[in-house]
Chain A
Amino acid sequence: MTEQHGDAPPDEYVEAEIQRMLAEDPAIAEQGITVVCLERGLVLYGEVESPHRREEILRRVAERFPRVPITSDIGVIRTQAPSQVEELP
């Protein structure tokens, strides 16, 4: 899923602030999301436990930084039973 928001160029402080917001905003509380600053804007990537959380992250970040172009590449972690066992002799 990829979405773009806003048009202003990001800077390093915005990157730091988003990183902290992802962990500290009670609606998000994610420490496993990486914020990468690319020429076209900030890219968020990592994995979350539900589609709802992925949407919430994007919504909150866009709300707080409406002028920063954000691209999301966040996945929802699969929960299938394992197909293999690790033998530890």
Chain B
Amino acid sequence: MIRIAAVGDVHMDEDVVGRFRPALDELPDCADVLLLAGDLTRHGSESEARCVAREFGNLGVPVISVLGNHEHQCDEVPQVVKVLEDVGITVLEGNGIVLECAGGRLGVAGAKGFGGGFAGRCASDFGEPEMKAFVQTTKDSADALGRALRGLECDVLVALTHYSPVPDTLAGEPLEIYPFLGCYQLGQAIDSAPTALALHGHAHHGSERGTTPGGVRVRNVAHPVIKQAYSIFHLGDHLDRG
């Protein structure tokens, strides 16, 4: 069995440092890894990234993250990534990592993802260059996630994004903004590989559970949705039975 802790949208700054720490200190006893589903900061500044590093660095379990849209606000993405990597946090964008856990090999592929909307109600690659650029961003991100997922050799495969791959976990958000919260192409990418679980954030008013058309379980782990420091998922029971 592999034990995965996950949370997204912690939106750290000085005023939040220390709030998660008591719960995080329990992680080595209850999880093999912590996955962060983006929107780690408020504006994506280097100083906010240092707050993330203080709170989520040196936890005693590996920490793997994707970035969210908030990490792009200040245009300091490389600095943010460096601050996180300096404390050992792995930042994924269109790539993956395999961890040797006590219960088996856990593969995590990650990408921020993008909006675009869901089947039948989505943006199309047509018209103004701005619209085409929007949809191209959606496609590129989903393609990168799909490639990363299919490229991992592991026992349990997890997809980590910021934007949602399904509309199910957006329930609670206004329908009108669904196209800014996720896209079906991410779901398609997840379904193109033997993914066991897909985790995302971004939809603060959304709901916890959903499933891709291919049957992969999806969980929205945005902090305002789970209302606890992190959620824990147990996967890969079959590995224990040999």
Chain A residues with CB under 8 Å of chain B are 26, 29, 31-32, 34, 46-47, 49-50, 52-53, 77-82, 85-89
Chain A residue at smallest Cβ distance from B5 = A82
Taking a contact as CB atoms under 8 Å apart, the answer to whether B11 and A78 are in contact is no
Taking a contact as CB atoms under 8 Å apart, the answer to whether A50 and B23 are in contact is no
Chain A residue at smallest Cβ distance from B44 = A29
Chain A residue at smallest Cβ distance from B9 = A32
Taking a contact as CB atoms under 8 Å apart, the answer to whether B19 and A50 are in contact is yes
Chain B residues with CB under 8 Å of chain A are 3, 9-12, 15-16, 19-20, 22-23, 26, 30, 42-43, 70, 73, 196-197, 204-205, 217, 219, 223-224, 226-235, 237
B227 cross-chain contacts in A, Cβ below 8 A: 47, 77-78
Q: Choose one: A29, A79, A88; the contact of B234 (CB below 8 Å).
A: A88
B169 to chain A, nearest CB (A): 14
Dominant SS at the A interface? loop
Tell me the bound Cα distance from A26 to B22 in angstroms: 29
Chain B residue at smallest Cβ distance from A31 = B204
Taking a contact as CB atoms under 8 Å apart, the answer to whether B229 and A79 are in contact is yes
B20 cross-chain contacts in A, Cβ below 8 A: 79
B233 cross-chain contacts in A, Cβ below 8 A: 85-88
Closest CB pairs A-B (n = 4):
A32-B204, A81-B23, A47-B224, A50-B15
Chain B residue at smallest Cβ distance from A52 = B15
A85 cross-chain contacts in B, Cβ below 8 A: 3, 30, 232-234
Q: Choose one: A50, A77, A81; the contact of B224 (CB below 8 Å).
A: A77
B132 to chain A, nearest CB (A): 25
Taking a contact as CB atoms under 8 Å apart, the answer to whether A80 and B15 are in contact is no
10 contacts between A and B (CB under 8 A): A32-B204, A46-B204, A46-B224, A50-B16, A81-B229, A81-B230, A85-B233, A85-B234, A86-B233, A87-B234
Q: Choose one: B224, B226, B229, B234; the contact of A32 (CB below 8 Å).
A: B224
List 20 other contacts, CB 8 Å, given A77-B224, A86-B233.
A26-B43, A29-B11, A29-B43, A31-B204, A32-B9, A32-B204, A47-B224, A49-B16, A49-B223, A50-B19, A77-B227, A78-B227, A79-B23, A81-B23, A81-B26, A81-B228, A85-B3, A86-B219, A87-B233, A88-B233
